[in-house]
Amino acid sequence: MSENVTMRVLQTMEEFAIVVELQQKIWGMAKQDTVTPYIMNAMSHNGGSIIAAEIDGQMVGFCLGFAGKRDASVLLWSHMAGVLPEYQGRSIGFLLKQEQRTWALENGYDTISWTFDPLQRGNANFNLKHLGAIANTYHVNLYGEMTDAINAGLASDRLEATWHLHDEHVATLAEGVSPSPNEETFPDEAFLVRASDDIIAQPTSLTSDTYCIEIPYHISELKKHDKPQAIQWQLTVRQAMLAAFEQGYAARDFIVGDGRCWYVLKKE
């Protein structure tokens, strides 16, 4: 990446208004569905942050988070993170998340959490492989029916990512060290969900230390051209993940190769 990308914590209503425009451009959102400048202003004054990525003074991406609480633990909930389509694939998203991690550590947080669509290969690979987050919570239809350009067509199922900011693996990845290539091979019986002529779901009585859950390589294309198959994928992955998480497994890695991709789940 040759651009000089700068990161900046936003403070003003005028800056927050630009973030509203970014939300519309990145996700095809209607304006009434965006996080408003008023809400962002409240976040920024109450334990949260709105961070922008800029190139030559132009805002090209952002992430925003607010203070959250789970049981006795305080965390930063990263509600949104995105980069304009024409600037994607240039590591700007990675830089934004690392800036958010730095800000969180400086402000007393040990953990950042967020949700993502478990069927989106790019998000899964980024969150688990490149950031080092893990996932062991599955939310069924978390946001109800969504109508934006990316999410329309399926239930809004979400995986919850947990990013342990002091974790050694997370810290190593933050320094720009490339993730280690996967050298482990997985037999068919390790796959709770895998693609063949039909989607196959294996029995949910789990006894091994490691299992895999495959997802479609191009879910967006599948939603356009074979919606019933896309829905079947979602239901099958949902069933497998709920069963695995209930039995103490967590998604700790994501593998992409030869036109296939899958989660790697380990017993915690």
Domain contains 125: yes
**Count of domains in the chain?**
2
Q: Would you say residue 103 has pLDDT above 90?
A: yes
pLDDT digits (tens, 9 = 90+) for 151-161: 567 899 999 99
Longest CA span, the chain: 55
Range of the domain at 210: 188-267
More confident residue, 204 or 212: 212
Please say whether the dihedral angle defined by the alpha carbons of residues 256, 129, 52 and 6, taken in this order, is positive or negative. negative
258-268 pLDDT, tens digit each: 899 999 999 97
Residues 86 and 33 in one domain: yes
Mean pLDDT of 84-113: 97
Statement to judge: residues 255 and 197 lie in one domain: yes
Asked if residue 192 and residue 153 are part of one domain, the reply reads no
In a domain, 206, yes or no: yes
* Per-residue model confidence (pLDDT) at position 268: 79
Question: What does the pLDDT read at residue 1?
Answer: 46
CB neighbour burial string for 22-38, b if at least 16 within 10 angstroms, e if fewer: bbeebbebeeeebbbbe
- DSSP letter for each residue of 223-238: HHH-HHHHHHHHHHHH
**In this structure, is residue 182 part of a structural domain?**
no
Of the two residues 20 and 200, the one the predictor is more confident about is 20
Rounded to two decimals, the pTM is 0.92
Paired strand residues for 33: none
Tell me the two tokens of residue 195: 């693609």
Do residue 28 and residue 160 come from a single domain?
A: yes
Element (H, E) at 18: helix 13-27
Q: Which amino acid is at 3?
A: E
Given a cut of 90, whether residue 146 has pLDDT beyond it is no
Same domain, 107 and 149: yes
Answer for the pair 76, 84: CB distance below 8 angstroms, yes or no: no
Residue 2 has pLDDT above 50, yes or no: no
Percent of the chain clearing pLDDT 70 (strictly above)? 93
Average pLDDT over residues 29-49: 96
Q: Is 170 within the bounds of a domain? A: yes
The pLDDT, as a whole number, for residue 152 is: 66
Q: How far apart are CA 144 and CA 25, in angstroms?
A: 22
pLDDT, average across residues 14-21: 98
Has residue 126 got a pLDDT over 60?
yes
For residue 210, pLDDT over 50 is answered with: yes
In this prediction, residue 197 carries a pLDDT of 60
> Is 183 inside a domain boundary?
no
The DSSP bridge partners found for residue 73 are 70
Q: In terms of domains, do 39 and 122 share one?
A: yes
